Structure 1
Amino acid sequence: MATPDFSQIGGNTESDKKSFWSRPEGIFGMIVLAAIAGFGFLHLNDILEFLIRATSNILELSLLLGALGVLIFLFTSKDVRTAVFFLFKSLMRSITGTVIQLNPIAIMKIYVQDLKDKRQKMQGQIDTLAGQLVKLNKKINENNESIKQKFAEANKASSLSDRPGMKEQAQLATIEGAGLQEMNEKLAPLQRNMKMVLAFMEKVNQSADYIIKETEIKVRLKETEYQIVKESSNALKTAVSIFKGDPDKRFYFDESMEYIQDDMSKKLGEMKRAMDLSMDFINGVDIQNGVLSDKGQALLEAYNKGEFGLIQTDTNAAPNPITAPQPGQINPPKDAGYRNLLD
């Protein structure tokens, strides 16, 4: 089913360009200007008080007149007005664009809801128009019944025209019937127009329902696509961040790596120094073991040749008079063995 073309309704608007004030940024600009005007109106007393106080001082009055002259020049200069207007338009457009960028899907849904509200309003108007058409049809039918009744009364009165007043009554009934007929003749075109408008409104309602459903499908599709693209973009950013790394986290990682490298170098240096110091001791022990081994080998050879002499102890020797305990002395003095050593 092709989308109906309603561009010709109410005239051709394709060639009519929208002015700035009819665009979204223009509407927002009018709201801003209205807010500024309202603020000025609310603080009008403060502004007047400032002006009165400023005019009481010559210096302040001079500055005020100078500022007023500058403002008059700015307002009367076409170039300045054009520049300010374009600056204002750019600012309003930037703010509107920022609002759109915050949540474009929500704005699209608001637009769809606005279409639904307008369709509901149009349905109410269709119901009202249908009610008026029913009233009009009822009025025409009532007039037809009244016409029949009046013409019947006129015929009855004409048949009794020989009676007094019947002729006038017949004329009155005929006039009333003719008036009702004339009313119906004028109401008939209105009835046809109302039927045409009502039929057209019904078609517009059906087309609007189709357009709204199609727009809803587009919004849901765009929402899904936008969500998928956002998730894909976030996933891609995460993947890229693996290679690039977070700057702050990367800094701490590099610092930790450098600390570990320095600590390992320090500990390896300490281990090398400890090994160097222990090598001197190990070499000395090896040399001493070698000397003892050579000496032991020489003693072994002497022993095998019978040239090795063992050290003998004299077990029958008399006790040392210095160290031997005296009879009757239980505990000799501790220095008894070396008391007279130097005498």
Structure 2
Amino acid sequence: MNTPLLGPPSPADGLPSWQKPEKVAGWVFVALLVGAGVYYWGQILPYLIDIVFDTVKLGIGLGVLFVLFLLATNKRIQTGLWYLGQRIFRTAASLFVNTDPIGIMEDYIRNTEKEARNMEEEVGHIEGANELVKRKMDANRAQMQEYLSLADSALRQGEKDSADSYASRAAQLEDYNRRLQPMATTTANVSLVMRQILKAALRQIDNSKFKVNLLKDEYTLVKRTSSGMRAAMNILRGDPDKKYFFDLATDRVAQDMAQQLGQIKQAMRYSQEFVKEMDIQNGVMSEKGQRLLDKYQKGEFNAIMDNEAPVRMNTAPTTRQATDDAYGKLLD
């Protein structure tokens, strides 16, 4: 009698819940769903990757187009890129060629000093050659004198062939010295001229060093003075770019201040009208109260109470109308 007809089935058969047919079918269905998801995920993943990379490429392309648009339309960016290119090329050129004016003059002086040292070495070589020629000529003279003495001795002894041989050798040495004499004279003159040129060059190098040092100091002083004057002119005239933004900020602040002052004036006008209306109402009520007090002091209070209802009916709409007018003016 008390056994419920409908209710959850009880495991009367003794099987575990996971071995029931509906449970097995459910797990099989879940496994099929997981397998299908893995399979189709492998199919859709390359498509998603292509979408992501295509989106990135699209963003990069739009960014490049935006930069090209700015380069084509914005004069300030074009000017900045122009000066940047000039700076880059100048820096690259400075790696190979000195572009500083003072540095160029100093390089010229260093090269001139190097040439002067090379010239001094060449003069030394020429003087050495002159000294060798002189020594050779002196040795030939000594040898010639010796050959002449031998020839004279051979003649006194009656050996004519030997005397002729020694005399021929002496003649050859004399011809040799005669040929060496122009070379000795030339080397002596060239060494003398080159010494004079070297002295003049060294003197010119010293003068150039003095001028370069003077110009360097003057240039440094002028650059510092120009930097100070440029700072002063920036204060007086203002940097054009910074002044442009300063003017924009000033206009914005002026507009904001004008708007705020207008709101303040409008609020003050509304509050003044409201306070004036309230003062009028308070003045009217004060006069009425004063009249009631006077009548009360004179013993006329009963007459006042008898006439209160009509008076109240007459004064309430008037007060409401005055209040509505005051708020209406406040919200205008």
Question: Residue 77 of structure 1 corresponds to which residue in structure 2?
Answer: none
Q: Could you list the per-position Cα deviations for residues 289-311 of structure 1 after superposition, in whole angstroms to 9, with x for gaps in the alignment? A: 323433443455456556668xx
Give 2:141's aligned amino acid.
Answer: N
CA distance in 2 between partners of 1:157 and 1:128 (Å) = 43
Distance (Å, rounded) in 2 between the aligned partners of 1:189 and 1:279: 123
Q: Which position in structure 2 is the counterpart of 1:263?
A: 256
Deviation per residue, 1:134-166 (Å, 9 max, x gap): 2112211211221132123223322322xxxx2
Distance 1:173 1:199 in 2: 38
Map of 1:123 onto structure 2: 120
Determine whether 1:141 maps to 2:138: yes
**Could you tell me which residue of structure 2 aligns to residue 158 of structure 1?**
155
1:239 to 232, 240, 264: 232
TM-score (norm 2): 0.55
CA distance in 2, matches of 1:280, 1:207: 101
2:201 to 191, 208, 211: 208
Partner of 1:194: 187
Q: Given that residues 295 and 301 in structure 2 are in contact (C-alpha distance below 8 angstroms), is that contact kept between their aligned partners in structure 1?
A: yes
For residues 24-39 of structure 1, the aligned pairs below 5 Å read none
* Corresponding letter in the other structure for 1:227: T
In the alignment, the residues of structure 2 paired with residue 283 and residue 190 of structure 1 have an alpha-carbon distance, to the nearest angstrom, of: 127
1:112 is the counterpart of 2:109: yes
Once the two structures are superposed, what CA deviation does each residue of 1:15-43 show, in whole Å capped at 9, x if it has no partner? xxxxxxxxxxxxxxxxxxxxxxxxxxxxx
The 1-side partners of 2:274 and 2:111 are apart by: 95
CA contact (8 A) 2:137 2:177 kept: yes
Deviant stretches of 4+, over 6 Å: none
CA distance in structure 1 between the partners assigned to 2:247 and 2:212 by the alignment: 47
Match for residue 223 of structure 1 among 216, 225, 234: 216
Between Structure 1 and Structure 2, the one with more helix by share is 2
Q: Deviations over 1:186-216 (max 9, x none)?
A: 3234323322221222222111111111112
1:171 maps to which residue?
A: 164
* Residue ranges of structure 2 left out of the alignment (5+ in a row): 1-96, 303-332
> Matches of 2:167 and 2:236 in 1, distance apart?
101
Distance 1:111 1:280 in 2: 88
Distance in 1 between residues matched to 2:117 and 2:125, nearest whole Å: 12
Q: What SS does structure 2 have at the residue aligned with 1:199?
A: helix
Cα distance, 1:181 vs. partner?
A: 2.3
Query: 2:98–2:104: 8 Å Cα contact kept in structure 1?
Result: no
Is 1:294 the counterpart of 2:291 in the alignment? no
Per the alignment, do residues 127 and 182 of structure 1 end up closer, same or farther by CA in structure 2, a change over 3 Å counting? same
Q: Structure 1 residue 224: deviation in Å?
A: 2.8
Moved more, 105-114 or 195-204: 105-114
Partners of 2:301 and 2:149 lie apart in 1 by 179
Deviates more, 1:142-151 or 1:261-270: 142-151
After the TM superposition, which residues 258-337 of structure 1 pair with which residues of structure 2 at under 5 Å, given as runs?
258-302=251-295
Which residue identity does 1:134 align to in structure 2? E
Q: Tell me the amino acid that sits aligned with residue 102 of structure 2.
A: I
